[in-house]
Structure 1
Amino acid sequence: MAGRVKTALILGASRGIGKQIALTFAENGYKVCVAAKTTESTPKLPGSVHDVANEIVEKGGDAFPIRCDVRFENDISNTVSRCMQQFGRIDVAVYNAGAISWKEVAETPLRSWDLMNQINARGAYCLVDNVLPHMLEKKHGRLILVAPPIYNRFFKGKTPYAMTKVAATVLVHGLANELVGSGVTISALWPATVIKSHVTEVRKLPPSFMRKPTIFADACLEIAQEKSEILNGKALIDEDYLRTKGVTDFSKYRCDPKQDPLRMMPQEFPCLIVKEEIDDPPVKSRI
């Protein structure tokens, strides 16, 4: 694949982390499909797929915008089809779309859980279901889901939300078994600290609490460019993964130039593998 221009599909790319992922990939030579629900920027909700695509093109990159409401299967399948028609292949697909409500079970009506599940879990599965056949045919591809490692503290006080996000992590761990040797990998990525976004601006979070979204985008790019299958099935943390790639100075990612934000994620995570798994027969490959 040396010398060939690569392509990336980013879902949830109209602002914040998703926008920065799209910009970072474009800056590194990728053709980018910028997909999200927002097609018009407003004072209440600034940023749109057109704004991001135009910014990429103005900087000399190659991008096109498409409206995609991840609650609907037709939107996702149409987005993947359009991306394939435009670029001929999808080397990387990042699922950054998300709905968030950090409330306890007693405070979360079913309709709120349904919305989070539609966007966080079902949408992620739908993207994978639509992109995977193309990647398997090419025997190459990187799937990246914005999802957390699985550990008990993550569930506390936000169980309904956690259910829908961890579902995507289970998809990463489970599908990885089926992808061994295929040339296609799936990984989860989650931030170590709060990342600056439209939500943090609305809530007026102090800069000292946050990092810039460039740290998350840089980690995505490194995952995408990994030539081996070593990251298949891994639930990664942006800072920790970048350290394995030789990054030691994270000051450029600070929102407050004088201070690193507090880490919100644990330093270590539990292993999910049981000893009986060692003797399990290999999963039958789809290849």
Structure 2
Amino acid sequence: MNVLSKKTIVITGASRGIGREIALAAAKRGANIVIAAKSAEPHPKLPGTIYTVAEEVEALGAKALPFQLDVRDHAQVFELMQKTADTFGGIDIIINNAGAISLTNVENTRPNLFDRMQSINARAVYLTAHAALPWLKKSGHAHILSLSPPLNMDPRWFKAHAPYTLSKYGMTMLSIGMAEEFREHGIAVNCLWPRTIIATAAIEFALMGKEAFRQCRTPAIMADAAMAILEQPTSFTGNALLDEQALEKVGITELEQYRYDSSYQGPLGADLFLDDCLWSH
């Protein structure tokens, strides 16, 4: 039996993309999946809602709880955790996948956009942990996993988009602090970031366009990397790993299977905050 079997996993931003892929990977391992996202109604350009992912999870034989959530609303977050515990008897794992991105500098970032990125990215890491903590303390396999990067203090990552960088580094810094704070309670806290750009709606609509997908990997690599971390004992804590590093821990080194376009054998695009990233302006 997989260590994640019967564990209850809350995933924010789980209606599509990486969040959906993580939900399905965990469902295949027998976990209870809470699909927490804003998308309750179909979007004309973006497939997937909390309900369609719940159906996919249940089709794999796992239990699902769809929950419409705005991670900025603390009352909704507390309600989410209480309903999760009432439904499944507890909470074992929190995955902070919901995100907001705008690669704009200080001059060109409106105050409301600045606040949105801080709230959906960094503040949500605090808020979900704070709200779930009473149940995480009782779990025998408690993990918090946030999709945020290793800290790279090169000024390059601040000049062009300091507001976004602040929000993502804030996720990682909170995670480092929580790893130490929660260590005595047996709660592992880690971060995960893609080595390459991933074929998601953010790349297609907010950043580079769908033509960039040929230089991407699929969300499956992040899902498999997340499973590699979540299957570790809770003593594995305080790490900010790239997906490749997480997979290497479980012996997965052949990564061609994750290439979005197998007919394209050119270089893949390195993601933000990595020294060899070529696509940040």
Task: Establish whether residue 234 from structure 1 lines up as the match of residue 239 from structure 2.
Answer: yes
* 1:222 alignment counterpart: 228
Which residues in structure 2 correspond to 1:1-20 (within 5 Å)? 5-20=6-21
* 2:99 alignment counterpart: 98
AA of the residue aligned to 1:176: A
> Could you tell me how far 1:235 is from its partner in structure 2?
0.9
Note if contact 1:38-1:67 (Cα within 8 Å) is conserved in structure 2. yes
> Could you tell me how far 1:179 is from its partner in structure 2?
2.1
Task: Output the CA distance in 2 between the equivalents of 1:120 and 1:57.
Answer: 29
* 2:150 alignment counterpart: 149
Give TM-score, length-normalised by structure 1: 0.87
Partner SS for 1:137: coil
> Per the alignment, do residues 80 and 169 of structure 1 end up closer, same or farther by CA in structure 2, a change over 3 Å counting?
same
Task: Establish whether residue 171 from structure 1 lines up as the match of residue 174 from structure 2.
Answer: yes
1:196-215 deviation digits (Å, cap 9, x = unpaired)? 11233332233321000010
Select the residue among 254, 257, 262 that pairs with 1:249. Answer: 254
> Could you tell me how far 1:132 is from its partner in structure 2?
1.6
Task: Output the CA distance in 1 between the equivalents of 2:212 and 2:168.
Answer: 26
Partner SS for 1:185: strand
Note if contact 1:140-1:182 (Cα within 8 Å) is conserved in structure 2. no
* 1:273 alignment counterpart: none
Task: Output the CA distance in 2 between the equivalents of 1:235 and 1:32.
Answer: 24
1:140-188 deviation digits (Å, cap 9, x = unpaired)? 4000011111112433411011111111111111111122242111111
Note if contact 1:188-1:235 (Cα within 8 Å) is conserved in structure 2. yes
* 2:134 alignment counterpart: 133
* 1:262 alignment counterpart: 269
Number of equivalent positions: 267
* 2:121 alignment counterpart: 120
Note if contact 2:10-2:94 (Cα within 8 Å) is conserved in structure 1. yes
AA of the residue aligned to 2:269: L
AA of the residue aligned to 2:221: I
Give TM-score, length-normalised by structure 2: 0.89
Task: Output the CA distance in 1 between the equivalents of 2:260 and 2:247.
Answer: 18
1:29-85 deviation digits (Å, cap 9, x = unpaired)? 111011101101121332110010011112322112010111100111111111111
> Could you tell me how far 1:92 is from its partner in structure 2?
1.2
> Could you tell me how far 1:234 is from its partner in structure 2?
0.9
Note if contact 2:143-2:188 (Cα within 8 Å) is conserved in structure 1. yes
The runs of 5 or more residues in structure 1 that have no matched partner are 269-287
Task: Output the CA distance in 2 between the equivalents of 1:161 and 1:261.
Answer: 23
> Could you tell me how far 1:267 is from its partner in structure 2?
6.9
Note if contact 2:92-2:139 (Cα within 8 Å) is conserved in structure 1. no
* 2:75 alignment counterpart: 74
Note if contact 2:16-2:49 (Cα within 8 Å) is conserved in structure 1. yes
AA of the residue aligned to 1:170: M
The runs of 5 or more residues in structure 2 that have no matched partner are 277-281
Select the residue among 202, 207, 222 that pairs with 2:213. Answer: 207
Which residues in structure 2 correspond to 1:11-30 (within 5 Å)? 11-30=12-31
Task: Output the CA distance in 2 between the equivalents of 1:220 and 1:73.
Answer: 26
Which residues in structure 2 correspond to 1:262-281 (within 5 Å)? 262-264=269-271, 266=274
Identity of counterpart residues, as a percentage? 36
